[in-house]
Amino acid sequence: MKPLEILRSKYTGCMVGAAIGDALGKQNEGLSRKDILSSGYVTDYGAALPGCPGEKLRAGQYTDDTEQMIVLTRSIIDCGGFNAGDFAMWIGKWGADARNDPARSSLVGPASSAAIARLNSGISWEESGSDIPSCGSAMRAAPIGLFYKDLDDVESNAALSSVPTHKSKGAIAGAVAVAIGVRCALLGMDCLEIIKTTCARASNHDSELGKKIEHSFNKKDSAPGDVFAELGTSYSVYETVPCAFFCFSRHSGEPKKAIIEAVNSGGDTDSIACITGALCGALHGIGSFPNKWVKGLENIETIEALAGTIFEIRQ
Ligand SMILES: [Mg+2]
% the chain with pLDDT above 70: 100
Could you read off the pLDDT of 67-78 as tens digits, one per residue? Answer: 999 999 999 999
Q: Whole-model pTM?
A: 0.98
CA of 294 to the centre of ligand 1 (A): 19
pLDDT band at 277 (very low <50, low <70, confident <90, very high): very high
Could you read off the pLDDT of 160-185 as tens digits, one per residue? Answer: 999 999 999 999 999 999 999 999 99
Boundaries of domain holding 90: 3-314
CA of 255 to the centre of ligand 1 (A): 20
CA of 64 to the centre of ligand 1 (A): 5
CA of 104 to the centre of ligand 1 (A): 9
Could you read off the pLDDT of 249-258 as tens digits, one per residue? Answer: 999 999 999 9
CA of 129 to the centre of ligand 1 (A): 18
Is the model's pLDDT at 105 over the cut of 90? no
CA of 10 to the centre of ligand 1 (A): 23
CA of 308 to the centre of ligand 1 (A): 24
CA of 315 to the centre of ligand 1 (A): 32
Q: Exposed, middle or buried: residue 81 (CB in 10 Å: 0-12, 13-18, 19+)?
A: middle
Q: Please tell me the distance from the alpha carbon of residue 276 to that of residue 273, in angstroms, as a whole number.
A: 5
CA of 270 to the centre of ligand 1 (A): 5
Q: Please tell me the distance from the alpha carbon of residue 272 to that of residue 291, in angstroms, as a whole number.
A: 21
Is the model's pLDDT at 39 over the cut of 90? no
Is the model's pLDDT at 103 over the cut of 90? no
Q: What is the pLDDT of residue 40?
A: 83
CA distances from 272 to 76, 196, 232, 306, 313 (A): 24, 20, 11, 22, 29
* Total number of domains in the chain: 1
CA of 4 to the centre of ligand 1 (A): 32
Could you read off the pLDDT of 46-70 as tens digits, one per residue? Answer: 999 888 899 999 999 999 999 999 9
CA of 32 to the centre of ligand 1 (A): 16
Q: Please tell me the distance from the alpha carbon of residue 22 to that of residue 245, in angstroms, as a whole number.
A: 15
Q: Please tell me the distance from the alpha carbon of residue 126 to that of residue 181, in angstroms, as a whole number.
A: 25
10 Å Cβ neighbour count for 150? 9
Whether the CA torsion 115, 47, 253, 295 is positive or negative: it is: negative
CA distances from 62 to 12, 216, 218, 220, 273 (A): 16, 26, 31, 27, 11
Rounded average pLDDT over 14-37? 97
CA distances from 229 to 220, 224, 226, 241 (A): 14, 8, 5, 14
Q: Please tell me the distance from the alpha carbon of residue 33 to that of residue 265, in angstroms, as a whole number.
A: 6
CA of 106 to the centre of ligand 1 (A): 9
Q: Please tell me the distance from the alpha carbon of residue 163 to that of residue 91, in angstroms, as a whole number.
A: 12
CATH number, domain of 162, equals: 1.10.4080.10
Chain mean position to CA 289: 17
Q: Please tell me the distance from the alpha carbon of residue 264 to that of residue 21, in angstroms, as a whole number.
A: 11
CA of 313 to the centre of ligand 1 (A): 29
pLDDT band at 80 (very low <50, low <70, confident <90, very high): very high
